């Protein structure tokens, strides 16, 4: 199947920066969409940013102008550059990819990373 390995979380002061990475490996023919979500205790998982294989991006309003999602399609890797971090950005961040396993397959299968903790202190 497919494995996702996330890295880059940690503790940072408000106003600081972090860069998250998520590398996918395994039975991958193509990945059409890659995204980052975040979740805090007692709340639903929230979409933070998404990028398509053609480079189109979308962000939740609360991170626009501060976060940048990018990808290296050759490496099946997605990044999230987070600048001007705020305490409200504290959460566990998960990457998500939609994988097509074989040529001609029309179904995309979703896979999730293990999550990485981001903590922003005030």
Over residues 23-71, the pLDDT tens digits come to 999 999 999 999 999 999 999 999 999 999 999 999 999 999 999 999 9
Q: Model confidence over 59-102: pLDDT tens digits?
A: 999 999 999 999 999 999 999 999 999 999 999 999 999 999 99
100 or 105: whose pLDDT is higher? 100
pLDDT of 104 > 90? The answer is no
Q: How far is CA 61 from CA 47, 65, 114, in A?
A: 10, 9, 25
Q: Which of 27, 24, 30, 18 is nearest to 80 (CA)?
A: 18
Residue 105's pLDDT band (boundaries 50, 70, 90)?
A: confident
Length of the chain: 122
């Amino acid at each position: 199947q497919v494995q996702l390995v996330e890295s880059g979380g940690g503790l940072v002061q408000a106003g600081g920066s972090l860069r998250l990475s998520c590398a996918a490996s395994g039975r991958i023919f193509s990945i059409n969409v890659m995204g980052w979500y975040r979740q805090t205790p007692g709340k639903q998982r929230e979409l933070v940013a998404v990028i398509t294989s053609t480079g189109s991006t979308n962000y939740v309003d609360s991170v626009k102008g501060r976060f940048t999602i990018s990808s290296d399609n050759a490496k099946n890797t997605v990044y999230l550059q987070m600048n001007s971090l705020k305490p409200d950005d504290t959460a566990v961040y998960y990457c998500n990819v939609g994988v097509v396993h074989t040529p001609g397959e029309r179904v995309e299968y979703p896979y999730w990373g293990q999550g990485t903790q981001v903590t922003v202190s005030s």
